[in-house]
Structure 1
């Protein structure tokens, strides 16, 4: 399975095809799904262009994406840098009339257990964001460890050897703790594709898109999210 992460905290100065508004995100979703993405991860923006969990920012994006690609699961981030931050993030999730299919929750954040419990209580799936072994160890202690939809293996290291070592360590920790949710792996920027290749080698699901990087496997600049998804499809097909 390939997930497309369409924008993250990137902007059009970083790449002109980064979608920001609801209509642009929906158009990017259509192209990404046509290229082979099975699900979507987006960061809604407020009127100021900044990431937001306010219902006025989230609901138009969810509505637009679902109208454009019916039946394709769409999730959002709950990163603690996203307004309104803190406990208020949980309140905003609860206030949503139209809810995401899932949210990503970073286990490195202090209130991650509360956010996970709240999301599950609202009927929202959870991708557990795991940047390192400590995150896996923490997830393994939670009562919700078996209720997560996916284990989001997020490797931030920018040196190839360090990225591969970090990836291997997280995967081994997942196995050691016997966590049963399927891993979904991705790297960032220079190591987007090295992590994806490592994950494909283990038969794991992968993520790509302009949130994670703007370069194709050959080092060329991707045209857009769909270009990155198509490249990921080719990697999967080539084994």
Structure 2
């Protein structure tokens, strides 16, 4: 399964291809699903382009995307969108249109409270377990772990030469992870090497302008659909392509 991550915390400064309005997100989602994406992950935005968990923004984005695609739609609950854990829980409980699932970064303060609020509302939880954090350890000890939809194994190593090794270390740290499905992905310079590893291991993965701004050959991606097609069709993704230097994006916070 390939999930498309439409925008992440990126902004207009990362290029015109990054969708920021509900309409642009819906259009981008439609193209990505047509290209082969089976799910959508999106970051609702304020009018100024900042990530937000506000009920109005979540409702507008989820409704707009569902109007054009018939696949699961998920949103972020990242602490950068609402730093106060209590306020984050309040936002989730106030959502008027529920996404199919939402990601919860387990190393962030209040992660279990946010996950519990989502589960209470019937929203699936994607447990974001970032390499280099205590998220995996905390997740494996959590009573909520067996109840999550999947693990998002997020490799934060953006060095092309070492990202695959970091991914293998993260997977080893997770072990059987309560038998839960694992979606493995990387970021920026590590995105394509980690995606290639996920394909070889038969794991779910994701790609999109949140994770990487360039194609495997180092050329700037013109759309999320183009990235999905590259992920779908690449026999064995390598990074960078022979004879090219990678053009790095800005990365996630």
| Structure 1 length-normalised TM | 0.94
> Would the aligned equivalents of 2:41 and 2:75 in 1 still touch at CA under 8 Å?
yes
What is the match of residue 104 of structure 2? 105
SS state at 2:178 partner: coil
What is the match of residue 72 of structure 2? 73
SS state at 2:128 partner: strand
Q: 1-side partners of 2:49 and 2:219: how far apart?
A: 28
How has the CA–CA distance of structure 1 residues 35 and 93 changed in structure 2, closer, same or farther, with 3 Å as cutoff?
A: same
SS state at 2:14 partner: coil
Structure 1: gaps spanning 5 or more residues: none
Output one character per residue of 1:19-54: Cα deviation in whole Å (capped at 9) or x when no partner.
011111000010000000000000001122211111
> Would the aligned equivalents of 2:85 and 2:109 in 1 still touch at CA under 8 Å?
no
What is the match of residue 164 of structure 2? 164
What is the match of residue 48 of structure 2? 48
Structure 2: gaps spanning 5 or more residues: 238-253
SS state at 2:147 partner: coil
Q: 2-side partners of 1:113 and 1:41: how far apart?
A: 20
| Structure 2 length-normalised TM | 0.89
Output one character per residue of 1:59-98: Cα deviation in whole Å (capped at 9) or x when no partner.
00011000111x3101111111103642111111111111
What is the match of residue 11 of structure 1? 11
Provide the aligned length of Structure 1 versus Structure 2. 236
What is the match of residue 58 of structure 1? 58
How has the CA–CA distance of structure 1 residues 163 and 48 changed in structure 2, closer, same or farther, with 3 Å as cutoff?
A: same
How has the CA–CA distance of structure 1 residues 76 and 236 changed in structure 2, closer, same or farther, with 3 Å as cutoff?
A: farther
SS state at 1:160 partner: coil
How has the CA–CA distance of structure 1 residues 172 and 65 changed in structure 2, closer, same or farther, with 3 Å as cutoff?
A: same
What is the match of residue 29 of structure 1? 29
CA-atom RMSD, angstroms? 1.6
What is the match of residue 246 of structure 2? none
Q: 2-side partners of 1:15 and 1:94: how far apart?
A: 33
Q: 1-side partners of 2:117 and 2:166: how far apart?
A: 29
Q: 1-side partners of 2:82 and 2:111: how far apart?
A: 16
1:1-239 counterparts in 2 under 5 A?
1-69=1-69, 71-83=70-82, 85-132=84-131, 134-175=134-175, 177-235=176-234
Output one character per residue of 1:91-142: Cα deviation in whole Å (capped at 9) or x when no partner.
1111111111111011111211111111111111000001127322211111
Q: 2-side partners of 1:232 and 1:220: how far apart?
A: 14
Greater shift in the superposed pair: 203-212 or 109-118: 109-118
Q: 1-side partners of 2:122 and 2:235: how far apart?
A: 32
How has the CA–CA distance of structure 1 residues 44 and 75 changed in structure 2, closer, same or farther, with 3 Å as cutoff?
A: same
> Would the aligned equivalents of 1:46 and 1:56 in 2 still touch at CA under 8 Å?
no
